[in-house]
Amino acid sequence: MMSNPYFVRTFKGAARNRLFLFPYAGGGASAFHSWQKHFTDTEILPVHYPGRETRIKERPLESLTLLVEELWAGMEPLLRDGTPYYLFGHSLGTKVAYELALLIRQRDLPCQPKGLIIAAGKAPCLKETHPIHQLDDAHFIREIGRFSATPPSILASPELMSLFLPTLRADFRLDETYHRREIEKVKCPILTLMGDQDPELTLDELLMWRNYTQGDFAVQTVAGAHMFILTNKEAVLRILQDYLGS
């Protein structure tokens, strides 16, 4: 069997569901490293992006279209057995997950997702009003510090930041230049999650996702700011366990 650079399988046994995970800007599969132990019958599949972690020597992708096409090529073999699956994205990952769901809908593929889970992401019609990806290094590093996703020890190290800056810039460029004027609906239901103290997102911006589905729409708040999937992981896992019936 050929190795899959984007999705590494570790789950043993037969899965009742699969959950594909797409992280925030600068994040990788390690953001979800302990999630599998909380699901006994759901296979957890965090994406392994180029430019970080086990793929640190690879160049990060700067085209969302190309990234989605490559992700689909990695996902499609895993869906051939017909196991129901869900797409979860946080922040930048919401755009990736939505574009994947849209690609699958547009191609009228039989393996449609059972649900799209949007965490801490604005609706696709809303463009970023305060982009930072074009700032010089010092100001860019200062700005990414407000998201609390990159450890202070890394932010304070010029040597480490020189290693991570290309990937961070590429991710923020993908995130901040993304914009879809027309509303295109996916077939599956959408569940949205928001931190109740998130300074990067308003409830109205989140609620606009209700226009992007032909199915059911729901909202749940989680205690925390933008990075609540790290600071309040237990609450997120409980919501997902209930949603997936695990």
pTM of the full structure: 0.94
Residue 187 in domain? yes
Full residue range of the structural domain in which residue 213 is found: 17-127+182-244
Residue 231 in domain? yes
The residues annotated with a catalytic role in the active site are 91, 226
Q: Which of 123, 154, 142 is nearest to 27 (CA)?
A: 154
Residue 141 in domain? no
Residue 78 in domain? yes
Residue 159 in domain? no
Query: In the chain, how many domains are there?
Result: 1
C-alpha R_g of the chain: 17
CB 155 within 8 A of CB 142: no
* pLDDT, position 225: 95
Residue 35 in domain? yes
Q: One digit per residue, pLDDT tens: the chain, 246 residues?
A: 457 899 999 998 889 999 999 999 999 999 999 999 999 999 999 999 999 999 999 999 989 999 999 999 999 999 999 999 999 999 999 999 999 999 999 988 889 999 999 999 999 999 988 889 999 988 888 888 877 667 777 778 888 888 889 999 999 999 999 999 999 999 999 999 999 999 999 999 999 999 999 999 999 999 999 999 999 999 999 999 999 986
Strand-strand pairing, 85-90 and 115-119: parallel
- DSSP letters spanning the chain: ----SS------S--SEEEEEE--TT--GGGGTTGGGG-SSEEEEE---TTSGGGTTSPPP--HHHHHHHHHHHHGGGGTT---EEEEEETHHHHHHHHHHHHHHHTT-S---SEEEEES---TTPPPSS--TTS-HHHHHHHHGGGT-S-HHHHT-HHHHHHHHHHHHHHHHHHHH---SS---BSS-EEEEEETT-TT--HHHHHGGGGGBSS-EEEEEESSSTTHHHHTHHHHHHHHHHHHT-
* pLDDT, position 246: 63
Residue 227 in domain? yes
* pLDDT, position 152: 77
Residue 144 in domain? no
* pLDDT, position 148: 65
Q: What is the CATH number of the domain that holds 194?
A: 3.40.50.1820
Q: Which of 108, 115, 119, 116 is nearest to 23 (CA)?
A: 119
Express each pLDDT in 125-161 by its tens digit. Answer: 999 888 899 999 888 888 888 776 677 777 788 888 8
